[in-house]
Amino acid sequence: MKLKNIKGLVGILSFICLALSACDKINNPIISKGNNVGIPSSGLTRVTSTNDDDLLKVLVEDFTGHLCTNCPAAGAQCEALVNSTNGNQVVLLQNNVSSLAKAVPKGYYPGLPDTAYCNDFIALADSEWDNVFIDGTANGMPATMVDRLYFNGTPYSPNVYSKENVSVPFDSLIGTSPTAKIHIADSMYAPPVSTLSMSITATLIAPVAGVKYYLVVGLVEDSIYDWQDSVSHNIQYYLKRMTFRTAINDGGHGWGDTLSAGASPQTKHYTYANTAAFRYNSAVVSVPPKVPARLWNMAHMYVIAFVYQVTGGQHNYVVLQAQKLHI
Amino acid sequence: MKISVSNILGVLAICVAAISNVNSQILNGPGQLHGSVEIDAQYYKPDSAIGAPKVPEKMGLNSFAQLDYTNGRISAGIRYEAYEDALQGYDSRYNGNGIANKYIKYADSTMSITVGNFYEQFGSGMVLRSYWNYSLGIDNSIDGVRLLYNPYKGIYIKGLIGHQRYYWAEGAGIVRGADAEIHLNELIPNWDQHKTGIILGGSFVSKYQVADDPTYNLPANVAAGAGRLTITNGGFSLYSEYSYKANDPSAINNYLYNPGQGIITKLSYAQKGLSIELTGERIDNMDFKSDRAAIKNDLDINYLPALPRDETYALMAFYPYATQPTGEMGFDGEMRYTLPKGSLLGGHYGTDIDVEYSAINALDTTNLNDLTTTRQGYTASFLGIGKPTYFDNLTIEVKHKFSPKFRMIVQYCNEVYNKDIIQQETGFATVHADIGVFDGYYRLSEKHTLHFELQELYTKQDQGSWAYALAEYNFGSDWFVGALDEYNYGNSIAAQQIHYFTLTGGYTHNALRISVGYGKTRAGILCVGGVCRQIPAADGFTLSITNSF
């Protein structure tokens, strides 16, 4: 097959040029947050709420630890899912668990700064989920779960997907209809009171008799820079996405509040305050961070909530719906 | 995506049969089948003294088999890989097995079309280079379509589009590229008689990835372009390439929006017995990946050549240089000279002398403190040389043949190595080292050769000084046995003054090579062309088998 004349060559070149002319020049890198840009000057509350409650959102949990050398790779896989075409249907949690997430004493690693790996991101709920689902200390990490679906029935990790398979169960879920809805409305008082209050409305769609349903509500902080061990080196400023900080209900435990097995909307109100840890800095995340990793930057916080069922057997703990809202 | 071998071969067979029935000029007889195979296995013993971890599966195996079929204008091939599990130091995302590479190509005198996986390079690779390096565990092949077109003598055009291989999946981004090269001496009538040769080239590459971030306005399409010039005249040769990349915020550059630039210029002269090569390079924010969240060597679209040469001697390669895509300014000069045979210093057989000097520094930058606004990050003086020094190396090598039975290579190197920057460690600062190598070959008889090496690395930093000794005996033209020892005698911690002793043996015949080994390997880094992989400490048996046909 040959082009007979120069016109064919011009045609091919034109096609190539058109196809490759794509280049986006960005003049305003930072997305304007509108009312969320800075601390409310009047000191009054600022209220926001979710508006996509009918969309099925999948809970993707990345069990990780700052001493886990292969965990950045799993984090990258989850990040890819968040950045994918259906990323708006992902509620990502990074749960710090096991001995690989434990904080070490100051100066523990010779050759590194004294403060390397001294921060502890393990929440009470993280440890409880680890005991039931992962057992990271015994089985190693990383480990990921998608809606806590039952995977292969191995004795210690019945709900665990290997990190490279995260997209497989996710893709199978996103086209399905949700069996629950979650609406979040939150408000935050400006410092120094710094009390967070929120309303969570959960609606079960066609609940099944005999099945128990629970609502878990928590706080997640995005974009924390802190130490991470990677395959080839220690990273001083590793970007941690969507780190689970604490459960808000159930006294900080990971099993949530009971929902009635009915189809009517059920609204629960919660408040949470942690004056010692709360900070607020809405500047874009940078290195070194404006707010140290051990403190909670409320400007990057999300309220997350998910509904799960307890049935016994293979569908135990399966998450039916998840939701998140930036504070 | 994993595809069964039988499916692939079935498709290939159908295609070949269909084409052969359509046009007998495309195929030519039964065709030819070529291939290669390699198996590397290691049994791991935990050894806390050297930091060799306990490996749960106790054994790792990397392997591949490549088959290429050619018949007239049609060629096709597949590569099957198995990592059961991947050897320590290789990314565990390779674990598993499947068809890693498959392609079908049609090529005639003016055009070539490839569908499937292919490798390609534009110019020096600064805007596009996809390649496979088995020892590094790198395979960023493009799975898509490539067109090569030679519409007229002296004009060569390439176009491609596809996704990159990402372990057993594909990267998130789509890569598109085009390249054109004009050989003036072929294009212009009567220029083929000119002593001066001129080649002009230009490339354009862009990637697309969904941009959906709550904090940043990310560019979904990012483009890079390059222009290059090659001039040759007699023994002189000049190659220069400039590349530019538009805003490409990514995990590597901390999501900065400044453009990237790269320039490399190489001037060389060669005549019998003498060659001189001078290279200057400036890299500024030229990491280019098809997934902005990718890290390390994952999903590289381009390749930034390293100035220093790759070393083969163990202690010479102890502190290898890794190209810094975020920014570097470097120079390399090398001169090779052969002292003539029969001269006083050249001796009866002549003597080869090679002197090379490399110096690489940071860019001279000024911080803009604009991370909350335009996020350009910094400005960099184009010709400025900043601090710190990344790498500084003077190497002198002398090769001399004393007699038909004995030849020798002697090397000396003085090196300054910023380990914090190059290996992204902290707390190691800069290593100053002097390295010496004595490498000798003695032919005992027609089929028996003795090879020995003595090496010394002297430094007061890092792990301290090392000594290395190797003895290898080749006999029967096909067999070899050897022993080597690396000794960290200069380590400030007595318990870490360890001997890394290894025994090796093997058989080679034509393309077949089988080698086995047993012993300890120290932790280190393997670099090829500025791209590196960590090698963990290990203790145990190794087996390697390679063959091609």
B294 in contact with A at a CB cutoff of 8 Å? Answer: yes
Is the dihedral angle over the CA atoms B504, B507, B508, B511 positive or is it negative? negative
Q: What is the DSSP letter of B421?
A: H
Give residue B203's Cα distance to chain centre.
21
In chain B, residues with a C-beta closer than 8 Å to the C-beta of A235 are 424
Q: What is the DSSP letter of B15?
A: H
Which residue type, as a one-letter code, is found at position B196?
A: T
Parallel/antiparallel/unpaired status of strands A58-64 and A90-96: parallel
Cis peptide bond prior to B214, omega within 30° of 0: no
Task: Please tell me the distance from the alpha carbon of residue B329 to that of residue B385, in angstroms, as a whole number.
Answer: 6
Q: Is the pLDDT of residue A138 over 80?
A: no
CA distances from B483 to A205, B177, B487, B502, B508 (A): 72, 49, 13, 6, 18
pLDDT of residue B351: 94
A9 in contact with B at a CB cutoff of 8 Å? Answer: yes
pLDDT of residue B523: 87
Give residue B255's Cα distance to chain centre.
27
Domain-located, residue B86: no
- B253 vs A140, residue with greater confidence: B253
Task: Please tell me the distance from the alpha carbon of residue B336 to that of residue B309, in angstroms, as a whole number.
Answer: 14
pLDDT of residue A154: 44
pLDDT of residue A21: 65
| Residue A35 confidence class, pLDDT cut points 50, 70, 90 | very low
Task: Please tell me the distance from the alpha carbon of residue A101 to that of residue A64, in angstroms, as a whole number.
Answer: 7
- A279 vs A53, residue with greater confidence: A53
- Inter-chain contact B159–A17, Cβ cutoff 8 Å? no
Question: From the CA of B212, how many Å to the nearest CA of chain A?
Answer: 6
Question: CB-based burial of residue B309 (10 Å sphere; 0-12 exposed, 13-18 middle, 19+ buried)?
Answer: middle
As a whole number, mean pLDDT of residues B118-135 equals 96
Task: Find tokens 């803009």 and name the residue.
Answer: B368
**Which of A141-150, A160-169, B228-237 shows the lowest mean pLDDT across its residues?**
A160-169
ipTM: 0.71
Question: From the CA of B106, how many Å to the nearest CA of chain A?
Answer: 10
Q: Which residue of B has its CA nearest to A28?
A: B374
pLDDT of residue A166: 74
Percent of chain A with pLDDT over 70: 80
Geometric angle at alpha carbon B353, from B347 and B357, rounded to 5°: 165
Residue (of B302, B207, B93, B254) closest to A163 by Cα position: B93
A110 in contact with B at a CB cutoff of 8 Å? Answer: yes
Which residue type, as a one-letter code, is found at position B426?
A: T
Task: Please tell me the distance from the alpha carbon of residue B148 to that of residue B107, in angstroms, as a whole number.
Answer: 9
Task: Please tell me the distance from the alpha carbon of residue B163 to that of residue B197, in angstroms, as a whole number.
Answer: 36
Percent of chain B with pLDDT over 90: 70
Question: From the CA of B505, how many Å to the nearest CA of chain A?
Answer: 30
Give residue B10's Cα distance to chain centre.
34
Count of residues in chain A: 327
| Residue B360 confidence class, pLDDT cut points 50, 70, 90 | very high
Q: Tell me which residue in B212, B223, B425 faces A234 most closely, judged by beta carbons.
A: B425
**Which of A152-166, A258-272, B196-210, B349-363 shows the lowest mean pLDDT across its residues?**
A152-166
**Overall domain count for chain B:** 1
Question: From the CA of B203, how many Å to the nearest CA of chain A?
Answer: 11
- Inter-chain contact B293–A17, Cβ cutoff 8 Å? no
A13 in contact with B at a CB cutoff of 8 Å? Answer: yes
Cis peptide bond prior to A158, omega within 30° of 0: no
Beta bridge partners of A143: A63
As a whole number, mean pLDDT of residues B448-477 equals 93
Q: Tell me which residue in A3, A22, A27 faces B208 most closely, judged by beta carbons.
A: A22
Dmax over CA atoms of chain B, in Å, equals 75
Domain-located, residue B194: yes
- Inter-chain contact A164–B178, Cβ cutoff 8 Å? no
In chain A, residues with a C-beta closer than 8 Å to the C-beta of B205 are 20
Q: Tell me which residue in B147, B206, B214 faces A22 most closely, judged by beta carbons.
A: B206
- Inter-chain contact B371–A284, Cβ cutoff 8 Å? yes
As a whole number, mean pLDDT of residues B351-363 equals 96
Given a contact cutoff of 8 angstroms between Cβ atoms, the answer to whether A126 and A96 are in contact is: yes
A31 in contact with B at a CB cutoff of 8 Å? Answer: yes
Domain-located, residue B5: no
A168 in contact with B at a CB cutoff of 8 Å? Answer: no
pLDDT of residue A192: 52
- Inter-chain contact B427–A111, Cβ cutoff 8 Å? yes
Give domain limits for chain A.
Answer: 38-326
Which residue type, as a one-letter code, is found at position A215?
A: L
pLDDT of residue A12: 62
- Inter-chain contact B257–A29, Cβ cutoff 8 Å? yes
Geometric angle at alpha carbon B259, from B257 and B261, rounded to 5°: 150
A234 in contact with B at a CB cutoff of 8 Å? Answer: yes
As a whole number, mean pLDDT of residues B209-238 equals 89
Domain-located, residue B268: yes
Q: Which residue of A has its CA nearest to B156?
A: A9
- Inter-chain contact B372–A223, Cβ cutoff 8 Å? no
B110 in contact with A at a CB cutoff of 8 Å? Answer: yes
Mean pLDDT, chain A, rounded, equals 80
- Inter-chain contact B254–A287, Cβ cutoff 8 Å? yes
Residue (of A279, A306, A285, A291) closest to A39 by Cα position: A279
Question: From the CA of B358, how many Å to the nearest CA of chain A?
Answer: 25
**Which of A162-176, A196-210, A219-233, B47-61 shows the lowest mean pLDDT across its residues?**
A162-176
pLDDT of residue B450: 95
A165 in contact with B at a CB cutoff of 8 Å? Answer: no
B244 in contact with A at a CB cutoff of 8 Å? Answer: no
Question: From the CA of B249, how many Å to the nearest CA of chain A?
Answer: 9
Mean pLDDT, chain B, rounded, equals 90
| Residue B18 confidence class, pLDDT cut points 50, 70, 90 | very low
Percent composition of chain B: helix, strand, coil (DSSP 3-state, to 5): 5, 60, 35
Scanning B350-389 for CB atoms below 8 A from A yields 371-375
Where does chain A have alpha helices with state H? 6-20, 71-82, 124-129, 136-139, 167-173
3-state secondary structure B158-171: EEEEEEEEECCEEE
The torsion defined by the Cα of B107, B110, B116 and B119, in degrees rounded to 10, comes to: 110
- Inter-chain contact A31–B214, Cβ cutoff 8 Å? yes
In chain A, residues with a C-beta closer than 8 Å to the C-beta of B211 are 24, 83
In chain B, residues with a C-beta closer than 8 Å to the C-beta of A3 are 110-111, 149, 151
* DSSP letters for B93-138: GG-EEEEEEEEEEEE-SSEEEEEEEE-EE-TTSSS-EE-EETTTTE
Query: What is the domain-level CATH number for residue B184?
Result: 2.40.160
pLDDT of residue A90: 93
Q: Which domain holds residue B204?
A: 109-548
| Residue B193 confidence class, pLDDT cut points 50, 70, 90 | confident
